[in-house]
Each structure stands twice: as C-alpha cells, then as structure tokens.
C-alpha cells in the first residue's frame, strides 16, 4: 500500500524501509513473511448459478448508435466504483473452486491453469467462467448502488495483438467489449486495467503468473510487448462506440517498484504508454500507479503542461503484514482516516488521485488470499481464529457487521478527500467480507454510497 502513518504501520510500499513489499498477494520469495494457507472449505460449485441475463452465445460489443455520454468530470465529481476482479484474470481466492476443481495443487495462477491441464478443458472452463461470473445484471446492480465506475482487470494475453501468449488461454477480449456495452447501458464509466504483463510485473498470482522473481523488466521485448498491448487497446477504445464510456486505460497494475530493475523500467514505461495512448486519443484518461513507492515519489511526473488527463492510482490495504493484522478496530479506522490528507498533499500539486483498490476486510482469512497453498497470517502467525470473519456473511455477528460499516465509512470518507475510490472487489465465491455485492445485501455497505451513519468518523 501506500501510506505510512506516524504510529501505525499501514501496508504500503512506502514501508519499503523495511524492504518488504506490501500488496494484495505476497510473493513466494518473501520468506520472512511467508504467506499462509487458509483452511476453509471451498465453494462446492465452480460457477454461480446463471442469472436470467447470462448467455453463452457470442458476446456483442458496443455500437455507435446514439450520442455518447458526457465525459466523466474528474475535477468536480468523486469516483465511486468497484473492481470486477477475478473475471478476466483469475485469482484463486476470488474463485477457489475453479482451482480446486482441477485436482492439481500445482495450479496456482492463470499461467499454470493453462499449462498444467488439458487445453480443451481449460478453455471450456474459462469460457463458461467469462460468460457467467459477471453478467449484465451485475452492471445493473452496480449502477443501482449509486456507483460511477467499474475497473476491469485484463491480462496482456487477452489482447488480440499479443505475441506468444501460450500457455495462457485466449478469448476473453470479446467479453470485455461486451462489458463496455453494458456499462454504457447502465450509465457507468470504465477503466480498463492491464493487470498482467509478459513475465509478470510483480510476481503475484494476480498478474497471471506467480513467480519468485518477476521477469517483466528482464528483457526489452517484454516491455515492448506491453506497450504494444496498450497501443492496441488505445486503437480499439478510440473508436466512436467507446467514446467517454471507456474513460481510462490503466497502463499497468502494481508494478513492483521494490524490485530495482522494475523500478528502473517503470518510469520510462509510463511515459511510453502515455505517448502510445495520446498518439490515438487526447480524451482517454491515462492511469498510472505509484509502483509501491508512495505517491510522493512521483512528484512532478506527467503533470501539466507536459502531460494532460493523467490519473494516479494507489492501493491501500491493512491485511498483509502481522503488524497490520494486529491493529485494533479503532486503529484500523484511524489508519484509514490518515490516508486521505496524506494523498491530498500530492494530488493538490500533481495529478488526480484515487485509491483504486481497497477493502473493508480487516483480516487475511479468505481462502487462498495469500496464494493457493498458503495459510492466513491471522491464524498461522497470530494464532487467531477466522471463524465468523470470512465466508458466508449470514454467519457474521452484528458487531462484526457494525465494524465493517464503520471501516467502510472511514475509508470512503478519507479517500474522497482526493478524487475517490474503487473497491476491491464486486463479488467473490466464498469471502463475503471482500464483496461489495454481499456488503450491499448484508447492510454494511449502504445502497447510497454518500450515506453516512457516522459523519464525523474521521474528524
């Protein structure tokens, strides 16, 4: 994460003084804090029951009929959105049954999902997943919840122009285009986020390939292939049918700035990616990230007048170290409240800034959150019970739901001191505490995201 608070350790790569990367998932190489394996039972079925809008037919991209919506006003309107995680880039903790259903413990990410089983089986599984995990009705629900944006992760291997994507299974691209049509229908704006790059930009399973040492920056060809993927997306999304609905292209999710070769490569890559988009569109917002270095590391970079329409994305979680997990509920809330003012000092002089990933969960108890085959620190390091803290929210106590609501309010209040937020994630199979959808159903997330039960929570 990104923010270091005076008395509290809040997960960010600014805590790089400790030399330990902080992110949603922890690298296999991070032996000092080896991520845990949860001991929860996976969901019995790999796929949700299809809604009435589910279709397995060829997805339909947007058409250019009708006037485009107005562009999103990042200067005056808060971003309030959700990530559609686990859809086009598999994550074991979001859909554990897809991985458990293989019967192979060596399948830990989307790369090994295609590599270590029959291609026909893997393809069939993914096509069904793409058709059923997120459907049109999800977009209707997201819009009805008063949200403005969806951030959609996708891997380089799903971009049609990608070279040598094997063993990744291709074919997600048409479903992405269809999702933009749904966003237009339900008055939502889209950020398409390149979540996985060739060789992996961080070594986490959410990049598509879990590695001890990410190799994205090891060869110039990997970086060039990533720029090519951005160029292809810009070519597609500069067409009239996407105008303004496709609000932003995020050049790369969570590059590991704590890796010296990646840190050296990322600044020129941000510039190349920005130029690739600007060669085709002046209107598409270009989103960059802080690369686990903290936003202040990027002071003066890609700012006007040398660049325009650039958005900074930082990610904030409080669950990826023993210190963070040891915080009391009040300390979690205090830490969240400190983030916004810290980001504000950067944003006021540099770029629009959002917290593009965050969660109401105070634990890492979700099955496979730290990687398939790895336990939760909450139980393995701290010796605490995960019972009632993850899984089916009908088993959550009233006091736990009350805390989740307060923690949600503290974070949105804090992050709206800059340009807004995008929650991670919309839905999960078996970790309701991470699911915005389940939060709405369970009452710890309000149907109106501007509603506050405690308006002075960060005062």
Task: Return the active site residues.
Answer: 254, 357
Mapped to the 3 state alphabet, what secondary structure does the chain carry?
Answer: CCCCCCCCCCCCHHHHHHCCCCCCCCCCCCHHHCCCECCCCCCCCCCCCCCCCCCCCCCCCCCCCCCCCCCCCCCCCCEEEEECCCCCCCCCCCCHHHHHCCCCCCCCCHHHHHHCCCHHHHHHHHHHHHHHCCCHHHHHHHHHCCCCEEEEEEEHHHCCCCCCCCCCCCCCHHHHHHHHHHHHHCCCEEEEEEEECCCCCCCCHHHCCCCCCCCHHHCHHHHHHHHHHHHHHHHHHCCHHHCCCEEEEECCCCCCCCCHHHHHHHHHHHHHHHHHHHCCCCCCEEEEECCCCCHHHHCCCCCCCCCCCEEEEEECCCCCCHHHHCCCHHHHHHHHHHHHHHHHHHHCCCCEEEEEECCCCCCCCCCCCCCCCCECHHHHCCCCCCCCCCCCHHHCCHHHHHHHHHHHHHHHHHHCCCCEEEECCCCCCCCHHHCHHHHHHHCCCCCCCCCCCCCCCCC
Rg (CA), the chain: 20
Q: C-alpha dihedral over 376, 168, 425, 318, to 10 degrees?
A: 40
* Among the listed residues 60, 239, 54, 67, the one whose alpha carbon sits nearest the alpha carbon of residue 137: 54
Identify whether the C-beta of residue 3 lies closer than 8 Å to the C-beta of residue 316. yes
d(CA 334, CA 316): 14
Tell me how far apart the alpha carbons of residues 210 and 203 are, in angstroms, rounded to a whole number.
5
Q: Which residues of 372-391 are buried (b: 16+ CB within 10 A; e: fewer)?
A: bebbbbbbbbeebebeebbb
Show the tokens assigned to 204.
Answer: 């986490």
């Amino acid at each position: 994460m990104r923010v270091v608070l005076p008395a509290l350790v809040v997960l960010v790569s600014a805590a790089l003084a400790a030399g330990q990367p902080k992110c949603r998932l922890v690298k296999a190489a991070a032996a000092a804090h080896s991520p845990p394996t949860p001991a929860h039972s996976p969901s019995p079925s790999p796929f949700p029951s299809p809604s009435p809008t589910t279709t397995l037919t060829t997805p339909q991209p947007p058409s250019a009929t009708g006037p485009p919506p107005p562009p999103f006003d990042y200067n005056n309107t808060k971003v309030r959105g959700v990530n559609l995680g686990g859809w086009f880039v598999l994550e074991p903790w979001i859909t554990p049954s897809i991985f458990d259903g293989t019967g192979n413990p060596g399948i830990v990410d989307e790369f090994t999902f295609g590599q270590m089983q029959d291609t026909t089986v893997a393809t069939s599984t993914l096509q069904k997943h793409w058709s059923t995990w997120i459907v049109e009705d999800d977009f209707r629900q997201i819009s009805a919840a008063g949200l403005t944006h969806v951030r959609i992760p996708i891997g380089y291997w799903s971009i049609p122009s990608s070279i040598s994507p094997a063993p990744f299974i291709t074919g997600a691209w048409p479903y992405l285009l269809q999702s933009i049509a749904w966003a237009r229908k339900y008055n939502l704006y889209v950020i398409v986020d390149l979540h996985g790059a060739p060789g992996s930009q961080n070594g986490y399973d959410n990049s598509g390939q879990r590695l001890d040492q990410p190799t994205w920056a090891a060869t110039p060809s990997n970086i060039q292939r990533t720029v090519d993927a951005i160029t292809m997306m810009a070519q597609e999304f500069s067409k009239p049918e996407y105008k303004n609905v496709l609000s932003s292209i995020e050049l790369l999710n969570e590059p590991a700035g704590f890796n010296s070769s990646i840190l050296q490569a990322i600044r020129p890559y941000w510039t190349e990616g920005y130029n690739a988009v600007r060669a085709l569109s002046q209107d598409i917002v270009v989103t960059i990230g802080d690369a686990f270095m903290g936003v202040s590391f990027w002071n003066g970079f890609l700012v006007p007048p040398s660049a325009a329409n650039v958005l900074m994305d930082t990610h904030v979680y409080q669950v990826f170290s023993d210190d963070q997990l040891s915080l009391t509920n009040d300390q979690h809330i205090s830490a969240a409240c400190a983030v916004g003012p810290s980001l504000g000092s950067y944003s006021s002089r540099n770029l629009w800034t959002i917290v593009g990933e965050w969660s109401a969960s105070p634990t890492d108890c979700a099955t496979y959150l730290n990687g398939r085959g790895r336990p939760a620190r909450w139980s393995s390091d701290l010796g605490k019970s995960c019972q009632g803290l993850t899984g089916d929210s009908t088993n959550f106590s009233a006091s736990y739901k009350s805390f989740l609501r307060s923690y949600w309010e503290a974070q949105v209040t804090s992050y709206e001191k800059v340009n807004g937020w995008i929650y991670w994630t919309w839905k999960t199979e078996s970790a309701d505490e991470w699911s915005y959808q389940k939060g709405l159903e369970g009452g710890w997330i309000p149907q109106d995201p501007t509603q506050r039960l405690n308006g002075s929570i960060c005062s």
